[in-house]
Amino acid sequence: MNRTLGLWGVVATLVGYVIGASIFILPGELAGTAGPGVVISYLLAAVIAAFSCLVAGQIGAVFPSAGAGYVAVSRLLSPFAGFIGIWLMLAAYIMAIVLIALGFADYFTAVFPVFSRSAVAYGVVAFFILANLGNLTFLMRIQGFLVLCFMAALVAVSGGGLAAIEPANITPFIPSGWGPVLYAAVPAFFSYGGFMAVMEMAGEIKKPGKTIPAGLIISFILVVVTYVALSLALVGMIPWQELASVKAPVKIVAEQLFGRVGGVFTSFAIMGAAATSINALVLVASRDIFALAQDGLLPRRVAPQGETSLARSVLVVGVFSLLAISLGNSISEYAVWVSSFTLLFQILVGAALLYVPKKAAEAYGASGFKLGMGGIQFSGWGLMLISAFFLLVVVVGSPAHAAWSVVYILVGAMLYKLRNKGA
C-alpha cells in the first residue's frame, strides 16, 4: 500500500469526512431539550471522540487495512466479537441513513413546502438504492464541489451567527438541568463518528508515527471549534424553546443573516451534503453485508458464492432503511440509536487495543505510530469506560432504546451460532 497522505492531506481528509450533514440537522432538535447547554453536549461528545481518535489511530497503524476495527476485534478478541461489532455497525449505518434522509427532507420541504416530509425521506433513500444498483458517477464527480458549498455555508452561518447572538437567548445557559445536557451528548456524538476513519487510512499515511497524532490533533480542534460555533450560533439567534419544533433551523439563521437567497443557497448546500452522506452510507453498508454473506455469516442468497454483484446487498440496505423510516422516530432518537451502537462497538475496539502488545506484538513493533504501553492502557480503558458511561446515560434516559439494543444483539448472536452450526 502506497503512503501518499501527508499531514495536511490527513487533516483535509478527516475534516471533510467528519463534518457532514448531521451538524446541520441535529443541533437544533437537541437544543430543544438541552437549551443553550447543547454547546456543552457537543464538548462532552468531543471527549468521547478524543478517545476514539487515540484508539483508532493505534488500531489503524497495527492493522493498516480496510475494516481495521473489525479485523482487530476478530483477531484479538474472537471471531464472534468481530461479527457482533460489524453487526452493530450495520444497524448504525441503517439508522444513520434514515436520520440524514429526514434531515434532507426537512431542508427540501423548507424550500418546496408542497411536498410531505415522509414522502421526500422515502424518496431520497429509494433514489440512492436504485442509483447504487446501477453506476452512480454523476454525484461522485460533483462531490468535491458539494463539499465546498456546504463548508462555505457552515463557515458563513457560524461566523455570522456568532456575531449576531442575542444574550437573552442563552440565559440561563442550562435551563433544564444537567440531565438533558448529558443525554444530548449521546446523539451529538453521531457528528464525530467519522474520526474512526483514521483506522482505514493508516496504511496510506506518510511517517505515521508523527503524521497520525499531529493530523488527529489539528483536525480534532478544527471540528470541535466548528461544531461549538454552529450550535452556539443557533441557540444565540433562535430561542431554544422554539428549536424543538423548528425544521431546517440553519436555513432560518441563514435567512436572518443573508436574506432569502442565502437561506435557499444554504438549504441546497445542506441537501448536497446529505445526498453524499446517504450515498456513502449505502455503499459502506452494502459492502459489509456482501462480505458477511460471502463468508457465510449471513444467508448466501444475499451474495451467492462466486457472485461479484452487490445488487442484492444494496437491496437489503434499502429494505431495512425504508422500514426504519416507518418507525416514525425523531431525528434525535435515530441519532441515539446510531451513537448507542457505535459506543458498543467502541467498547469492543477498546478491549481489542489492550491485547495488542500481547497478541499483535510483531505488528505493533513494526507500526509507525505507537502509543506506548501506558498510552494503550489509558486509551483502551478510557474509551471503554467513557463509552460505558454514556451507554448508562441512555439506559437511564431511554430504557426502551437499551432494551431494543439488547434484542438486536441477541438476534445477531443467534444468527452467528446458527450460521456456524450449519457451516
More confident residue, 47 or 148: 47
Helices and strands counted in the chain (H then E)? 18, 0
User: Contact, 231 vs 31, CB < 8 A?
Assistant: yes
Domain containing 360: what range? 7-422
User: Averaged over 83-104, what is the pLDDT?
Assistant: 92
More confident residue, 148 or 31: 31
pLDDT tens column, 366-382? 887 788 899 999 999 99
User: Averaged over 50-64, what is the pLDDT?
Assistant: 86
User: Averaged over 341-370, what is the pLDDT?
Assistant: 91
Identify residue 146 by its one-letter amino acid code: L
pLDDT tens column, 377-410? 999 999 999 999 999 999 998 888 888 999 999 9
Is residue 392 in some structural domain? Answer: yes
Is residue 124 in some structural domain? Answer: yes
Is residue 1 in some structural domain? Answer: no
Is residue 332 in some structural domain? Answer: yes
Is residue 405 in some structural domain? Answer: yes
- Report the CATH number at residue 171: 1.20.1740.10
Q: How confident is the model at residue 206 (pLDDT cuts 50, 70, 90)?
A: confident
Is residue 2 in some structural domain? Answer: no
Number of domains in the chain: 1
Is residue 381 in some structural domain? Answer: yes
pLDDT tens column, 65-80? 667 788 889 999 999 9
User: Averaged over 240-251, what is the pLDDT?
Assistant: 86
pLDDT tens column, 146-173? 777 888 888 899 999 898 899 999 999 9
Which residues have a Cβ under 8 Å from the Cβ of 252 and sit 6 or more positions away?
A: 238, 246, 263
**pLDDT given at position 381:** 97
Is residue 326 in some structural domain? Answer: yes
Q: How confident is the model at residue 308 (pLDDT cuts 50, 70, 90)?
A: low
